[in-house]
Amino acid sequence: MHAINSPVGRRGIEKHVTGTTRQRISRKNLGKIEIPLPPLAEQKRIAAILDAADALRAKRRESLAQLDTLLQSTFLDLFGDPVRNPKGWEQKKLGDVCDVRDGTHDSPKYVEYGHPLLTSKNFKDGEIDYAGANMISDGDFEHINKRSKVDVGDLVMPMIGTIGNPVLVEQEPDFAIKNVALIKILSGSPDRRYILHLLCSHYFDHITAKTNRGGTQKFVALKDIRGIPVPLPSADIQHRFATIVESIERQKTRLRAHLAELDTLFASLQSRAFNGEL
């Protein structure tokens, strides 16, 4: 297992992969892959070392998942299930309590160097992923930002494909958006972290299931996002939740940093193991 997952094994697989849109490898070609084959005792020693290192990574991932579960349960404890609204919070439309708009619908000319133009695929798992982003010129960047400039503290949310799962922008952005919802928190708006977790919860799926306008590819319209009913707990409870979120996010940041170190260590051990240096 570790040999096939190692850089040596992955390179062997890539040599025999066929297809572009959907890659595949035949059983015959799979049998052609070469892997290092030291004596059995050495195989067991290498596997034990890599198993132990991988177990540490698994524990960090489990800890991160538990913190996410804690956030979800804290949300429900403080606010109740937003689908049923058992605490009877007043509700207002998202578009009435926040400035809700979207990015450009145009397709500007792409350039080799410039500003990233991010689409739905670039926002996932609560993070901004620049992989595969097209670049646009200064002029197009400024033109798009007249309509939909993203600022620190805004929420950005995919509207096409994997809809929902908004991202809170926490660092000064240098990108523009296309076919992505932009939610700006105003004076008097609910707390941004409350809105974030409300839209990340099952409540979003419950509401948009009635309005999803896509066929094969899901799509939620801007007017439907603006029309999402938002329960409005007291500001004190929202603030208490935001404080808890910030504390948990600090813990997650530390765990992610440690996980990154473990990933680097594991990659080093893999490389050494299958180059005869471990």
- pLDDT surpassing 90 at residue 227: yes
237 and 160 in a common domain: no
210 and 142 in a common domain: yes
> Which residues does 191 contact at the CB level (< 8 Å), separation at least 6?
235, 238, 239, 241, 242
Q: Output the domain CATH number for residue 262.
A: 1.10.287
Q: What is the value of pTM for the model shown?
A: 0.82
65 and 9 in a common domain: no
Q: What is the rounded average pLDDT of the residues 104-124? A: 90
In a domain, 96, yes or no: no
146 and 46 in a common domain: no
138 and 56 in a common domain: no
pLDDT tens for 165-175 read 899 999 999 99
Contact 218/23 with Cβ under 8 angstroms? no
Tokens found for residue 18: 């066929």
Q: What is the pLDDT of residue 164?
A: 81
- pLDDT surpassing 80 at residue 156: yes
In a domain, 106, yes or no: yes
- pLDDT surpassing 60 at residue 216: no
227 and 159 in a common domain: yes
Q: Output the domain CATH number for residue 138.
A: 3.90.220.20
In a domain, 94, yes or no: no
Query: pLDDT-based confidence at 215, cuts 50/70/90?
Result: low
Report the distance separating Cα 184 and Cα 169, nearest Å: 11
Q: What is the pLDDT of residue 214?
A: 55
Number of structural domains the chain divides into: 3
Q: What is the pLDDT of residue 58?
A: 96
Query: pLDDT-based confidence at 212, cuts 50/70/90?
Result: low
* Residue range(s) defining the domain that contains residue 251: 40-89+233-278
175 and 148 in a common domain: yes
Report the distance separating Cα 217 and Cα 202, nearest Å: 19
Strands (E), 115-206: 115-118, 123-124, 127-128, 134-136, 155-158, 167-168, 176-177, 180-184
> Which residues does 278 contact at the CB level (< 8 Å), separation at least 6?
46, 49, 269, 272
Q: What is the pLDDT of residue 63?
A: 96
Query: pLDDT-based confidence at 91, cuts 50/70/90?
Result: very high
Tokens found for residue 125: 């798992």
Query: pLDDT-based confidence at 106, cuts 50/70/90?
Result: confident
In a domain, 54, yes or no: yes
* Selected residue with higher pLDDT from 278 and 100: 100
Report the distance separating Cα 164 and Cα 196, nearest Å: 10
